[in-house]
Each structure stands twice: as C-alpha cells, then as structure tokens.
Amino acid sequence: MKYKLLVLDVDGTLLNSQREISKRTIQTLRKVQSIGIKVALASGRPTYGILPIAKAIDLGTYDGFIISYNGAQVISARTGEIIFERTIDPQMIPYLERKADKTGMTMAYYDGDEVVSTDIENAHIIDEARMNGMKLRKGELLSAEMEDWPNEVMLFCDDEDELSGLEDHMQRHLNGVMDTIHSNPYMLEVVGYQVGKSYAMSALVQKLGIGLDEVIAIGDGAADINMIQMAGTGIAMGNATESVRRCADFTTLDNDQDGAALAIERAIVSEVQTTEIPIDALNAQSKNTLMGNLGIQYTFASPERVEATMPVDHRNRQPFGILHGGASLALAETVAGLGSMVACKPDETVVGMQVSGNHVSSAHEGDTVRAVCTPVHLGRSSHVWNVDIFTSTGKLVSSVRVINAVMKKR
C-alpha cells in the first residue's frame, strides 16, 4: 500500500463544529485501521482529553497512537507507553508566572485529569476543562505546586494583540528554550523547544520504520502546517485557514461535511481496492478480538476470494472434542466480512445481516479447518457469500451462506 500512517488533527478536522465525531468518520477510520493503516490523532489537547475520541475509533485495538500537547508527547493508545516526550524547562515556569502576573494574563496547565489555574472562574479555562472532560483545580503559586514538569503551559487573555506581543517577545528572547503556539485568539500555548506535531510525527515515523512519503496528514490550523508539508500527502480541510490550504496537496470538504472521511476514502480506501491486502497486518491487529480468541488467521484475500484457518482446540470445541457449529459460523462471518470490506466502495460500509449454515460432517480436536469464501452476489445493497469449511484432509465440514448489508456512509 502507498500509505502506512494516517495523522489526523482533532478539533476542526476529526470533530465537527459541535465537537462530535460522525458515524461516517468512525466507520472510515475503523476500516482503514482494519486493512493495516496505522492512525495517529494529533492535537493540542492533553492526552486525557483525546482518550475518549481514541476509544470511539478503536485506536487501542489497532495499535494506534496519540500525539498530544501539540506534539510534546506521543503514546501508544493500546499500552500507554510513552514513545516521545518533551517538557518545558523547569527553570522557565517561574518566568512564565511572572509574565502572566505582569501582563494580567491567566496561567494554567494540565495535571492528569485536571486543569490547574489561579483563576478557575475564567470562561476560557472552564471551556477548556469541559471540552476535555477534565476537572478544575485552583492553585496559588503554580510553579511551587507542580509535581511534574508540564508538557504545556497556557496563557489566557482576551486581548489578542497583547498575546501576540508576548509571543513575539518570547520568540526573540527565548529562541532555543521554548516554543509558542498561538492556536486561539485568546490563548497562547507554551511548549518545550522544538515541540510541534511535525516533530512528533517524525519521531513516530522513525519508531515505525517507515518513510515520510508513506504518511498522509490532515489538518485545518496553523499548528498543522508543518506536518502537512512534511507528509507524503498533506490534506487541508475545507474550513482550514488560507495558509493551510496553500501548503496542502489538496483541500477536502469542511468538518461539518465529513471532509476528513471523504479525503481518507479517496486517498486510502479507494487505493486498497486494487492493491494486495496486508494479511500479516490484519492478523496482528485481530489478536485481541474474537478472531484472536478463536485462533482465526487470514491466509489469503482478494476481491474474488478470502481464505482463513482456525485450529480445533479447547477454545472452539464441544465437550466431546469436535468443532462447535457456532465457531464455524463465526469463522464464516469473519471471512465474508473481510470480503465485503474489500468489495465495497470507499463511501460504503457493510454490516452483517444474515448467516445460515449446513453442518455436514465433523472436525476433531487437533485438526485445523480452512474456510474458503467466494461471492455469490455483489449488489448495491447487499453482498451474498458462500463459505465452505474443510478439514486439513479436504473433507467438507460446513457450507455457510452469509449476507451482508451495504449502506452509504452518513
């Protein structure tokens, strides 16, 4: 496949203007992950604030990644392992505190599931906590109360010119010490030196052992520009700023029109229809699912045929040592499901509708059965598959008919 990693901004890209992720986007991201593409969510949010979104798209199940604090931290969504991290120089925290006090700005930072600030009645800080599902905690002298040095410190002010002036001052006098991100008119984010989504993406690419030309990145804001420029293909949202659109390879629809899902379908899913299906990646990603629990392994996949094997052992046998009929149906639905995923169009999704099987002979514990799935009918609204299950000696165990419903993504 051309791409091996998809990096997605969250607010304004993955989420719509109501801060929700659409069903179509969820289905599309689950599909690209199921065919072997790694996904990373890249956001200015804290890690805690991204976790519910990661869960919604099964990021942990498919060994995806979370890039948080505008790139200051990269973690495995499955294990929580920190892959890359940069914090603010601890000597700079009192400096930031003095600057905030002198200019009348409000300072805050993230601590676990809390937003800590000297002013927890500030409307912007309340919104920040609510957006990330975090609690508020009032502090007095923040630099003295921090137990761990933060990945990010936020300065809030309703005077955008005042924030821009402070940003210019810090860029002139603190170059090589800290970086700043002016992501909102009312908020200046301060991070460690050489922190950004592009740095985090580079670290992740190195970790995965892939090239930047195998990365696709999608975003809408100034913090996304460098990663869009660095990726093999950079895509701007329809709601992106003009500067983002100018540096992207192309622009999709806005975030209220499922622009990210549409871009992924066109750039990734449509390409997979004519390329080799990544069998090893599919099997690796299925180890924590029903497939893994039953020992099912794909052995071949194409638009015309899908095959898989399953050992007959303690996980799927009846008390008398023969293969359970329910396990045979699960095997059949597994191969037919992949067949429909390969066969459907990029803007379509499939769900199981009906399965019926004829069990004609038995398979005994210690044997390995093989399922061969071929299409009977591939229509606009349904796919019908025939799945024959054989023993290792070629004896037919079950013949199963599986019907999957085909629906347009919404």
Burial 52-88 (b: 16+ CB within 10 A, else e): ebbeebbbbbbbbbbbbbbbbbbbbbeeeeebbbbbb
- Identified catalytic residue from 128, 152, 214, 333: 333
Least confident of 83-92, 163-172, 246-255, 265-274: 265-274
**Looking at domain 92-192, which of 3.30.70.141, 2.30.29.30, 3.40.50.2000, 3.30.1240.10 is its CATH number?**
3.30.1240.10
The mean pLDDT value for 266-283 works out to: 70
The helix (run of H) or strand (run of E) holding residue 166 is helix 160-173
Residue 69 to residue 43: CA distance in whole angstroms: 6
User: If you classify domain 5-82+196-272 with CATH, what class do you get?
Assistant: alpha beta
For residue range 118-146, what is the model confidence (pLDDT) as tens digits?
Answer: 889 999 999 999 999 999 999 887 777 77
For residue range 375-408, what is the model confidence (pLDDT) as tens digits?
Answer: 999 998 999 999 999 998 889 999 999 999 998 8
> What CATH number labels 279-408?
3.10.129.10
Residue 333 is among the residues annotated as catalytic for this protein: yes
CATH 3.40.50.1000 domain residues, the chain: 5-82+196-272
CATH 3.30.1240.10 domain residues, the chain: 92-192
Beta-carbon contacts of residue 98 (< 8 Å; ≥ 6 apart): none
CATH 3.10.129.10 domain residues, the chain: 279-408
pLDDT band at residue 294 using 50, 70 and 90 as cut-offs:
very high
Range list of H helices, 57-159:
92-103, 123-131, 142-145
Report the pLDDT value the prediction gives residue 14, as an integer from 0 to 100: 96
pLDDT band at residue 246 using 50, 70 and 90 as cut-offs:
very high
